[in-house]
């Protein structure tokens, strides 16, 4: 079984080894911040029912604003986007009852993620 912390470590390793990300300490720090946010804060807000009720709306509001600016780090989709979007893409699958209309940038990000060829290969059409 792969734990969230292991998936985050794997993502960060792959980003540094093959993705050309993390050229300096500031970029590596931002990447680590977003991966930790995804695996600790966002995952808990989604998958722990009491946290979903309390934390989810606040996180989605902040995340929606940030996503309006484009990729989370730099100009291109990268490790931070992969980590965060992996959880966001679960929303329509596991929580179809959640109304995402107040978060248009989150909705757009989910749709863009679902159109990525790698997502479609792994997840298929859902």
* Measured distance CA(48)–CA(86) in Å, rounded: 17
Question: Please, what sign has the CA dihedral across residues 48, 54, 57, 61?
Answer: negative
Residue 1: predicted pLDDT: 41
Which pTM was predicted? Answer: 0.86
Which pLDDT band, with edges at 50, 70 and 90, does 4 fall under? Answer: low
Which of 19, 4, 16 lies closest to 84 in space, CA to CA?
Answer: 4
Which comes out higher in pLDDT, residue 103 or 123? 103
Q: What is the mean pLDDT of the chain?
A: 88
Mean pLDDT of 40-49: 91
Comparison of pLDDT for 83 and 21, the residue scoring more:
83
**Res. 69: pLDDT tops 90:** yes
């Amino acid at each position: 079984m792969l734990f969230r912390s292991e998936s985050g470590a794997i993502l960060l390793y792959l980003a540094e080894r093959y993705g050309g990300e993390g050229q300096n300490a500031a970029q590596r720090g931002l990447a680590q911040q977003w991966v930790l946010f995804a695996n600790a804060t966002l995952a808990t807000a989604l998958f722990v029912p009491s946290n979903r009720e309390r934390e989810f709306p606040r996180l989605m509001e902040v995340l929606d604003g940030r996503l309006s600016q484009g990729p989370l780090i730099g100009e291109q989709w990268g490790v931070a986007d992969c980590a965060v979007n992996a959880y966001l893409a679960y929303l329509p699958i596991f929580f179809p009852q959640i109304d995402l209309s107040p978060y248009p940038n989150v909705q757009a990000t989910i749709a863009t993620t679902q159109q990525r060829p790698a997502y479609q290969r792994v997840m298929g059409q859902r």
